[in-house]
Amino acid sequence: MEDVGEKLVQVVIALAIFAAIIALIMLLVDRAPKTFRDKATIIGFLAPAVVLLAIGLIWPAIQTTYLAFTDRNGSPNGMDNFVWMFTQPEALVTLRNTLLWVVLVPLMSTGIGLAYAVFIDRARGEKALKALVFMPMAISMVGAGVIWKFMYTYRGAEREQIGLLNQILVWFGGEPKQFLLDAPENTFFLIAVMVWIQTGFAMVILSAAIKGIPTEIVEAARLDGANGRQQFFSITVPSIRGALIVVVTTITIGTLKVFDIVRTMTAGNFETSVVANEMYTQAFRASEPGRGAALALILFLMVLPIVLYNARQLKKQREIR
């Protein structure tokens, strides 16, 4: 009987959401041309997309939200999953690592990409140099994880090293290091992989934005006696502010959802797990779907403000134009 009641509640919620979507369509239609034919046309175009959206996104979101408040047997357990998330040491490590990823990856990728775009802009061999930096973007996250796992490979000090970084350490008289095993610095070595991938994306977008700056403004600044540093902070950065926002927010969203690199290189062991990886581990490895759903809900809440901010900035730019 309890299962039947739960299913009935889910159906009622789904119907309510569907009704809200239809109401939203009607509100949009009210702002459109008033003839019946025009309204029917608009509904006809919007309805398939709305239905697919409801089936593929809204309904799973409802189920995930409900699941976040249940235990491994599917019985409601209130806020227990969220209490676990913010009190247990392993969960706190996961949140700490995710915060490190979200802060460091966008800042480092954007900073390095911007510096590269500025210094290589109009230089000899610009296309080839930029292609080398952009090339990692063509590699999948799993592929990048495998490549860098070989780079970080450790063998005992008495054995020949097959990992490039450890071999370099040995050449300079140092001892080989277990890059992926020693916490907490192993998290930073994983972050380096994501930075390596995303720097090319930042460089391409920002380089295009820099080339779009009117030459008249740059020439006027030079005639006024502005040096390179003053031109960069007074002209370049303000002129490409919109591109910077897009790059930072896009990389931030991708970083919040990072899973492949961590799963491929450490599987979240040795205190390297992040929210997306822990969500998978709890739901499919630890048989705790409720905890996995709670982590998914937290991940959604972390991404949502960034998406809304990005949309708001784009709206402002359109209004200015």
Per-residue pLDDT reduced to its tens digit, 211-230: 888 888 878 878 877 777 88
pLDDT, mean of residues 302-311: 80
What's the CA dihedral at 170, 175, 178, 182 to 10 degrees?
-140
| Better pLDDT: 10 or 122 | 122
Q: Which two tokens stand for residue 48?
A: 């398939």
* SS3 category, 24: helix
State the chain's mean pLDDT as an integer. Answer: 82
pLDDT of res. 103: 92
Sorted by where each begins, the domain ranges of the chain are 2-67, 87-320
pLDDT of res. 36: 63
Nearest alpha carbon to residue 265 among 256, 255, 274: 274
User: Is 79 a residue whose pLDDT tops 90?
Assistant: no
CA distance 130 to 311: 29
CA distance 72 to 78: 13
Residue with tokens 């409802």: 62
Residue 95, CA distances (Å) to 57, 140, 203, 276, 277 in order: 25, 25, 29, 10, 11
pLDDT per residue as tens digits for the range 250-271: 899 889 888 999 999 998 888 9
CA distance 76 to 188: 38
pLDDT of res. 102: 92
Q: Which two tokens stand for residue 309?
A: 């901010």
The fold of the 87-320 domain, in CATH, is MetI-like fold (1.10.3720)
Backbone angles phi, psi at 258, to 5 degrees: -60, 130
Residue with tokens 């806020």: 79
Q: What is the length of the chain?
A: 321
What's the CA dihedral at 72, 75, 79, 85 to 10 degrees?
0
pLDDT, mean of residues 227-248: 84
pLDDT, mean of residues 131-151: 89
Cα Rg for the chain, rounded, in angstroms? Answer: 25
pLDDT of res. 164: 86
Percent of the chain clearing pLDDT 90 (strictly above): 19
User: Is 14 a residue whose pLDDT tops 80?
Assistant: no
pLDDT per residue as tens digits for the range 169-211: 888 888 888 889 888 889 999 999 999 999 989 998 998 888 8
pTM: 0.80
Residue 303, CA distances (Å) to 1, 65, 198, 257, 310 in order: 37, 16, 18, 9, 11
Nearest alpha carbon to residue 261 among 199, 164, 203, 192: 192
User: Is 4 a residue whose pLDDT tops 80?
Assistant: no
pLDDT of res. 219: 81
Asked if residue 249 lies in contact with residue 261, where contact means CB atoms within 8 angstroms, the answer is: no
